[in-house]
Amino acid sequence: MRAALVLQEVWTGLRRNMSMVVSVILVTFISLTFVGAAMLLQGQINQMKGFWYDRAQVAVYFCNEGDVGPNCTGEATQEQIDEVTATLETDAIAPFVQTVEFEDRAQAFENFKDQFEGTQAAEFATEESMSQALRVQPQSPQDASIVAEATSSLPGVLEVQDQRRLLEPIFQALNTASLVAVSVAVIMLVAAVLLISTTIRLSAFSRQRELGIMRLVGASNRFIQTPFILEGVISALIGSVLASGAVLALVQWGVQGYLAPLLPTYPLVGIDATLLVIPVLLAIGVLLSGVAAAVAIRRYLRV
Amino acid sequence: MRTLSDVILFDNVTKTYSRKARPALGGVSMEILKGEFVFLVGASGSGKSTMIRLMMREEQPNSGDIHVLGQRLAAISNSKVPFFRRNLGVVFQDFRLLRNKTVYENVAFTLQVIGKSRGFISEAVPDVLKIVGLAGKSSRFPHELSGGEQQRVAIARAVVNKPPILLADEPTGNLDPATSAGIMALLARINEGGTTVVMATHEASIVDAMQRRVIEVDSGKIVRDQKTGAYGSKLSTTPSGKQVTVNENEPMLESEDAEEAGA
């Protein structure tokens, strides 16, 4: 009996305020889509960081015949190469180094050809133009600078390249994008919360007479406020479901359907990660709208 | 001072509205016993509506204690007020019916919101409509009824849950004398059933005709409390009581403010 009465009140409220309800649905839809996109983007960034940082090494290039550098005096000698290797094995540096691999010209040439396959660079390169190098895998990405500092001024070293640093701008851009998405999401969520409380106030205002009578005859506060809270929660829930659909579609067709074939070797966010994001979106929608509606209706419960 | 048969007790109650210097009620003490029919009389703004609002805990006094049905009202938390209200039937001058609901639905609504079963409602509502004399009009809407009939619906709604107390704030204020007499007869019948009735009014003819207990309030103080009395026995000379009291000449300002505060 009571549940039926409450649902009937909810339905009346939703119908009376149709245009406001639609705007609540749309605003929650857009804001939660941004929240979902930001979460997935952050997930993507973390995934890529893991993927690339594992592969990123510190390359210590040795001088070639004719190279100009502060430590270069012609081609690096075997002694110079041994000294750099020994430096990396000293007690001060060794804890920060995982592996050290020497790469001779033949290997470097192979790698270069692989990397630039099909481009003009691969055709013009010769084995002689390659540098000998030490490929150092630091213990952790932060240790790369220690390796670089220890080796860059040793004789025979042309250049020390921290490959991770090359990736920084890309992650910076992605981070900025996700920050922008989060900011937009937050602003939209604030708008959604305000809109929900306005809608609920309007709904309560149009039912002021009923509310007064309910209070007069002793309807409990919970009984009075439940229809309004449900009204807000249902509108926001519809918006959240739409947002979940949008995020799912974005990943299914945008990322997996379009991006994945273009970037076959990159790890991209998939449907499984999206399925983790959806409950979060639904929870945010329900919680925010429930709290906003409860706060908005409170002043009508004053006795 | 308190006995078991008290249903309403005011103990030195003072109520001040923040905007006014003069208190709406200043140190009022009185008790109303079970089964009594009490008129609160006085000019508009004398404080009788404030007393009604205090009894239903729509407002709280600034000082003093109010007990209703053995409960100290100040001790009832806001969230428990609705449950306290279920012991009171309340009727107003403006009926306060839901326009989009029929007579039956208006009365049933009370029982629905306090969670009564469908079976209980389908028995209690026709019963009470018969008592108030609206048995044949249960599917009418309020706008299809006369003022007197609308007030009968409001009374039916107030008593359908068989509350021990019925509070009526100017229930005949919008009705012509003949219709008012019918409403008073109904209230008297409800009172005979054991319900304590407290009615605020400034209509002398009604008070005079009923010959019940009269509490007269003037400027927030009780100036008269008579077991059976007429409206203006203190100041008027005619027994039929055309009110020629000093109160009538008081400015009407405060009453409007007090009405607002209750809305």
pLDDT tens per residue across span A194-212: 999 998 888 888 888 888 8
- Closest to B113 (Cβ–Cβ): which among A212, A219, A303? A219
Confidence of residue B236 (pLDDT cuts 50, 70, 90): very low
C-alpha distance from B18 to closest chain A C-alpha (Å): 17
Structural domains counted in chain A: 2
Q: Rounded mean pLDDT of B90-115?
A: 92
Res. B212: pLDDT tops 90: yes
- Report the pLDDT value the prediction gives residue B32, as an integer from 0 to 100: 95
Give chain A as a DSSP string. -HHHHHHHHHHHHHHHTHHHHHHHHHHHHHHHHHHHHHHHHHHHHHHHHHHHHHH--EEEEEPPTT---TT-SSSPPHHHHHHHHHHHHSTTTGGGEEEEEEE-HHHHHHHHHHHTTTSHHHHH--GGGSPPEEEEEESSGGGHHHHHHHHTTSTTEEEEEEHHHHHHHHHHHHHHHHHHHHHHHHHHHHHHHHHHHHHHHHHHHHTHHHHHHHHHHT--HHHHHHHHHHHHHHHHHHHHHHHHHHHHHIIIIIIIIIIHHHSTTS----HHHHHHHHHHHHHHHHHHHHHHHHHHHHTTS--
- What value does the mean pLDDT take over residues B3-31? 84
pLDDT reported for residue B129: 96
Per-range mean pLDDT, top range of A178-182, B115-119, B145-149: B145-149
Cα of B158 to nearest chain A Cα, Å: 8
Domain ends where: A122, A140, A164? A164
Per the CB < 8 A criterion, the answer to whether A298 and A228 are in contact is: no
| B157 contact residues in A (CB cutoff 8 A) | 217
> What's residue B4's pLDDT?
54
| Chain A hits for B117, Cβ within 8 Å | 1
End-to-end, the C-alpha distance of chain A in Å comes to: 25
Residues A174 and A290 in one domain: yes
Chain B hits for A214, Cβ within 8 Å: 113
Domain that residue A135 falls in: 55-164
Q: Tell me the shortest Cα–Cα distance from B106 to chain A, in angstroms.
A: 10
- Residue B22 contacts A, CB cutoff 8 Å: no
Residue A11 corresponds to which tokens in the numbers above? Answer: 């339905």
| Shared-domain flag, residues A72 and A150 | yes
Write out the two tokens for B91.
């009727």
Q: A225 with A286, same domain?
A: yes
Does B78 contact A at CB distance below 8 Å?
yes
- Indicate whether B237 pLDDT > 80: no
CATH of the domain at A117: 3.30.70.3040
Laid out side by side, the sheet with B88-92 consists of B88-92, B165-169, B196-201, B37-41, B213-218, B221-226
Cβ density class A129-150: b for 16+ within 10 Å, e for less? ebbbbbbbbbeeeebbbbbbeb
Q: What pLDDT does B249 receive?
A: 40
Within-domain flag for A209: yes
What pLDDT is attached to residue B229? 77
Mean pLDDT (chain B, rounded): 85
Please name the member of B58, B117, B161 whose beta carbon is closest to the beta carbon of A1: B117
Specify whether A77 is located in the same domain as A32: no
Per-residue HEC secondary structure of B174-213 comes to CCCHHHHHHHHHHHHHHHHCCCEEEEEECCHHHHHHHCCE
Distance from CA of B110 to the nearest CA of A (A): 6
- Check CB contact under 8 Å for A213 and B82: no
Distance CA A247, CA A35 (A): 9
Q: Which residue has the higher pLDDT, A57 or B186?
A: B186
The reply to whether A8 and A138 lie within a common domain is: no
Read off the pLDDT of each residue in B187-212 and give the average, rounded to a whole number: 93
Query: What is the pTM assigned to this prediction?
Result: 0.70
The one-letter code for the residue type at B130 is K
Pick among A216, A223, A226, A298 to test the B interface (most B CBs inside 10 A): A216
Same domain, A188 and A253: yes
Taking an 8 Å cut-off on Cβ atoms, the answer to whether B86 and A217 are in contact is yes
Q: Answer yes or no: do A191 and A255 share one domain.
A: yes
CA-to-CA distance for B113 and A220, rounded, in angstroms?
8
Shared domain check, A65 and A155: yes
Residue ending a domain, choose from A115, A143, A164: A164
pLDDT of residue B213: 94
Beta bridge partners of B88: B165
Tracing tokens 């029929």 back to the chain, one arrives at B102
Q: Do A47 and A70 fall within a single domain? A: no
Residues A83 and A104 in one domain: yes
Interface contact B98, partner A, CB < 8 A: yes
Mutation choice for B interface testing from A2, A215, A217, A299 by most B CBs within 10 A: A217
Query: pLDDT for A89-140, tens place per residue?
Result: 888 888 888 888 888 888 888 877 777 776 777 777 788 788 888 888 888 7
Same domain for A35 and A184, yes or no, is yes
Whether residue A303 lies inside any domain: the answer is no
pLDDT tens-digit series, residues B146-176: 999 999 999 999 999 999 999 999 999 989 9
DSSP code for B133: T
| Residue type at position B230 | A
Q: What ipTM did this prediction achieve?
A: 0.77
> What is the pLDDT at residue B258?
41
Residue A184 sits in the same domain as residue A209: yes
Q: Of A106, A136, A164, which marks where a domain is finished? A: A164
